[in-house]
Amino acid sequence: MATSPAVFACEDIHIRLGGRSILEGISLGVAPGEILGVVGPNGAGKTTLFEILSGRYTPSQGRVILAGKDVTRLKLFDRARLGLGRTYQSPVVPDALTVGEVFRAARQAFRPYLTRFHAEWAAEKVGLRVPMSVLAGSLEALNRRKLLLACLLMRKPVVMLLDEPAAGLINSEIDELDSIIRHLAREMGMGIMLVEHRLELLSAIADRCVVLDLGKLIAEGDPEKVFEDPRVRAAYFEVEAA
Ligand SMILES: Nc1ncnc2c1ncn2[C@@H]1O[C@H](COP(=O)(O)OP(=O)(O)OP(=O)(O)O)[C@@H](O)[C@H]1O
Ligand SMILES: [Mg+2]
C-alpha cells in the first residue's frame, strides 16, 4: 500500500453495462507523488474504471473520493475543477485547430482564464517543441499526447488519470513519455493512475500496481512481485492463447 494517504481513491465500485457486470467491488487509491499502474488484459475493465473515476459513468455501487471529498455524484467538469485530469486511450485532437488555438480553448475552459504564459510553461514542462501556428491534426502521436497532457497540466491538477498513454509510440518515445510522467509525480507531487496492459512497460515506471481481470481486482502490490503472481500470469496467458 502507499505510505501516505490516498489523494484519490475509490471504494467497492460496481457497474453493469449492456446487461452484464463489468466491474465488481473495485477499491484502490493513489497517494500524492505516487505512480499507480492499472494493468489488465484487453476487456478487463480498465477504461470503464476510468470512466467512473473521471465522472462519465456513475457506478451502481461504491464511492469515489478526491482530496477527502466524496465526488461520486459530481460531473466530469466539476471533478476537473477540483483537480482531476484525464487523458484518453486515443489521442484525439481538434484537427482543424492550430496548437495555439487548442491551448487557448483549454486556457478558457474554466474561470479564472489562464494566460499564454501558462500554456508556454506547460508546453515546456512536457517538452512540446512545435510552433503554435501548426495544425494540431498534423502532429505525430507523441506530440499529440504531449499537447493533450500540457492542456491538463496548465491547471496543475492533483491527480492525473492516463489511459494507455504509450499506445502507438515507439520505444524511444515511450522512454521520453515515462520521464515526463515521472516528473509530474516526483517533482510536481501529482498522484498518477496509469493504465497499460503491457506488464513490462509498467515495471519501469510504476511504484505499485493493481491488476484487473474480467472486472475484478486480482492482484495488488510491487510491480515485479505482482507480475509473478500465478493468477496474473493465467489472466495474460488466456488472452495470448485466445
Ligand atoms: N458501454 C458499454 N456497454 C456494454 N459493455 C461495455 C461498455 N463499455 C465497455 N463494455 C465492456 O466492458 C468490458 C471492459 O471494457 P473496457 O473498455 O473497460 O476494458 P479495458 O480493460 O479498457 O480494455 P482495453 O485494454 O482493450 O482498452 C468489455 O467486455 C467491454 O466490451
Ligand atoms: Mg481500455
pLDDT in tens, 94-103: 999 999 999 9
* Residue 138 grid cell: 498534423
Task: Kindly report the backbone phi and psi dihedral angles of residue 84, in degrees, each rounded to the nearest multiple of 5, phi listed first.
Answer: -105, 125
From the alpha carbon of 41, which atom of ligand 1 is closest?
25
- Residue 170 inside a domain? The answer is yes
Nearest CA to ligand 1 atom 6: 17
Number of domains in the chain: 2
Q: Is 88 within the bounds of a domain? A: no
In a domain, 4, yes or no: yes
Q: Give the tens place of pLDDT for each residue, 112-145.
A: 999 999 999 999 999 999 999 999 999 999 999 9
Q: What angle do CA 13, 167, 185 make, to 5 degrees?
A: 65
Spatial contact of 158 and 8, defined as CB atoms under 8 Å apart: yes
Residue 87 grid coordinates: 487523458
CA gyration radius, the chain:
18
pLDDT tens for residues 44-102? 999 999 999 999 999 999 999 999 999 999 999 999 999 999 999 999 999 999 999 99
Q: How far apart are CA 34 and CA 193, in angstroms?
A: 8
Q: 73 phi and psi, to 5 degrees?
A: -95, 0
Determine which residue's CA is closest to atom 1 belonging to ligand 1.
Answer: 17
Strand partners, 211: 39, 219
- The residue assigned the cell 496543475 is 156
Pocket of ligand 1 (CB under 6 A): 17-18, 22, 40, 42-48, 89, 197
Distance (Å) from CA 49 to ligand 1 centroid: 9
Inter-residue contact 14 to 24 (CB < 8 Å): yes
Q: Do residues 165 and 133 both lie within one domain?
A: no
Residue in 13, 47, 49, 87 to alter for ligand 1 test, most ligand atoms within 8 A of Cβ: 47
Tell me which ligand sits closest to the C-alpha of residue 57.
1
| Residue 202 is assigned to a structural domain of this protein | yes
* 13 found inside a domain: yes
* Domain around 167: 1-83+161-242
- Whether residues 33 and 74 fall in one domain: yes
| Judgement on whether residues 166 and 195 belong to the same structural domain of the protein | yes
User: 222, 148, 160, 221: which is closest to 188 by C-alpha?
Assistant: 160
8 A C-beta contact, residue 99 and residue 132: yes
User: Do residue 45 and residue 73 come from a single domain?
Assistant: yes
**76 and 151 both lie in a single domain:** no
Predicted TM-score (pTM) of this structure: 0.94
- Residue 57 in any domain: the answer is yes
> Ligand 2 mean position to 66 CA, how many Å?
22
Pick the atom of ligand 1 nearest to 164's CA: 27
Q: Which among 86, 46, 30 has a CA at the least distance from the CA of 207? A: 30
Give the residue, by CA position, lying nearest to ligand 1 atom 24.
42
Same domain, 145 and 187: no
